Amino acid sequence: MSTENIFNLKIAIHQWENSFREINTDIEGCIEELVSHLHDSMAEFRNKGFSEEEAFQLASSELGQVPSIVVEFSKNHTVEGFDVIRFSVFFATWIFLSGILYYYGFFKELGFHIGCCVGILVSWVFLETLPLLKKRGGLINKFDKLRFIFSAFILFSFVSILVYLGLYDMFQLMPGYLVASIFACVLGEFMLLFVGKQRLKLTCSMA
């Protein structure tokens, strides 16, 4: 008998898990729970006398179609415009304050403007990296990584341009950085809201 046809539960479950990841990585943190459900359901089918393979097929089909489940999960990840503004202002203020802190603490020798920019960038990296380190809860995904890169790029570019053009004088130095930070955050978060909605539409169309 060929060993190729022997059902391997571990591989089957792994492939089933990957079918979620292929559609949307946002639900990474939810997969373990679905697998746990799959095991519970399989155990019941096994008790009824089904083979391991049959139990897997029945349990996975009872859980429903993967794209449909992903769509339902994706709906939970959408954010509204108000949340975006709230988060943006909060983050921008936090970044601005810690940027100054970094400047006075570590980057004073770089000069005021460069020091502030470096400080803001370091703060931003720190702020965005923390959630990425959190393994459970669906925070490690492409969307968060994209958010990190995009936001950092926008923020740093904007502040750099502002400094280069000398426009900071209009806002009298410190408030200028705050305004720049808030503007960059709001812009960045709204762009991401747009990207998120487009991704949800795409996922829905796949279901």
Q: Please, is 120 exposed, middle or buried when counting C-beta atoms within 10 Å of its C-beta (0-12, 13-18, 19+)?
A: buried
Question: Minimum distance from CB of 88 to other proteins (Å)?
Answer: 20
Report the residue number, 63 or 127, with the smaller CB distance to other proteins: 63
Question: How many CA within 13 A on the CB side of residue 93?
Answer: 6
Report the residue number, 40 or 53, with the smaller CB distance to other proteins: 40
Tokens 């179609």 identify what position?
Answer: 65
Question: Minimum distance from CB of 86 to other proteins (Å)?
Answer: 15
**Closest Cα partner for 191 from 84, 89, 87, 86?**
84
Question: Minimum distance from CB of 158 to other proteins (Å)?
Answer: 32
Distance CA 20, CA 141 (A): 13
Report the residue number, 35 or 191, with the smaller CB distance to other proteins: 35
The string of DSSP letters for 20-40 reads HHHH-GGGHHHHHHHHHHHHH
Question: Minimum distance from CB of 136 to other proteins (Å)?
Answer: 8
Question: Minimum distance from CB of 135 to other proteins (Å)?
Answer: 12
Confirm if 181 and 92 have CB atoms less than 8 A apart.
yes
Please report, for the chain, how many H helices and E strands are present, in that order. Answer: 8, 0
Question: Minimum distance from CB of 63 to other proteins (Å)?
Answer: 4
Report the residue number, 66 or 95, with the smaller CB distance to other proteins: 66
Which residues here bind other proteins, judged by CB under 8 A? 30, 32-34, 36-37, 39-41, 62-65, 68-69, 72-73, 75-76
Q: What are phi and psi of 50, to 5 degrees?
A: -80, 155
Report the residue number, 59 or 155, with the smaller CB distance to other proteins: 59
Report the residue number, 64 or 111, with the smaller CB distance to other proteins: 64
Confirm if 63 and 49 have CB atoms less than 8 A apart.
no
